[in-house]
A and B are shown apart, each in its own frame.
Chain A
Amino acid sequence: GENVEQHPSTLSVQEGDSAVIKCTYSDSASNYFPWYKQELGKRPQLIIDIRSNVGEKKDQRIAVTLNKTAKHFSLHITETQPEDSAVYFCAARNTGNQFYFGTGTSLTVIP
């Protein structure tokens, strides 16, 4: 089955700096890679996703890159703000529509 690894587990950045979270996956057939943001006590919510036929996608301050050859994908948040503080999860979906989640990154943006 698929195995998704996520690093780092915790990340602290100064407000205005960039944050990068990295994930690797094992199943080369995985074709969809969403990123979720989970605030304390809330449900995970999709913030950006990328499909296997695309190398990069950007939405305002957030971007995701995918390297299919190396089987890794990354989340980039620029100009971080305190409200970006949350736990971020990456995931990979296999051809059976099963989602495998990373272990999460707790991001703290220091004002």
Chain B
Amino acid sequence: DAGVIQSPRHEVTEMGQEVTLRCKPISGHDYLFWYRQTMMRGLELLIYFNNNVPIDDSGMPEDRFSAKMPNASFSTLKIQPSEPRDSAVYFCASSLGQGSYNEQFFGPGTRLTVL
């Protein structure tokens, strides 16, 4: 398996533009997590899904952020409109919820810069 795949790896956009980040979890994993990492706040959980259903989105900073998981192999995190303070590295991670192995595997991240 190629691991968790994220795209794009880098995104530079201007304030006010819409940004869409994409994630493909490891095949067979039933949990998917979106995190944001900044120097000031560290690693923050934004939202997570179980079997494509959002379970907890309390970490989503505001209505400008939305996430979807239309099927087991794809998820998006959208920011509309983007602001400079959204600049961060966004990680997607997946894990198996049941069974002995619950390791969370991270994708390579998307480095977002909003000018």
Asked if A46 and B103 make an inter-chain contact with CB atoms under 8 angstroms apart, the answer reads yes
Chain B, interface size category, equals 20 to 34
Asked if A99 and B106 make an inter-chain contact with CB atoms under 8 angstroms apart, the answer reads no
A25 contacts chain B at the CB level, 8 A cutoff: no
B104 contacts chain A at the CB level, 8 A cutoff: yes
Interface of B, secondary structure class, is strand
A74 to B23, CA, bound (A): 32
Q: Which residues of chain B are within 8 angstroms of A36 by Cβ–Cβ distance? A: 106
CB distance from A25 to the nearest CB of B (A): 15
Asked if B33 and A99 make an inter-chain contact with CB atoms under 8 angstroms apart, the answer reads yes
Q: Which of A32, A44, A49, A96: most chain B Cβ within 10 A? A: A44
Q: Which residues of chain A are within 8 angstroms of B56 by Cβ–Cβ distance? A: 96, 98
Give the A interface residue count (CB, 8 A). 21
CB distance from A57 to the nearest CB of B (A): 14
A-B contact pairs, 16 of them (CB 8 A): A34-B104, A36-B106, A43-B107, A43-B109, A44-B43, A44-B91, A46-B103, A91-B104, A97-B48, A97-B97, A97-B102, A98-B55, A99-B104, A101-B42, A101-B45, A104-B43
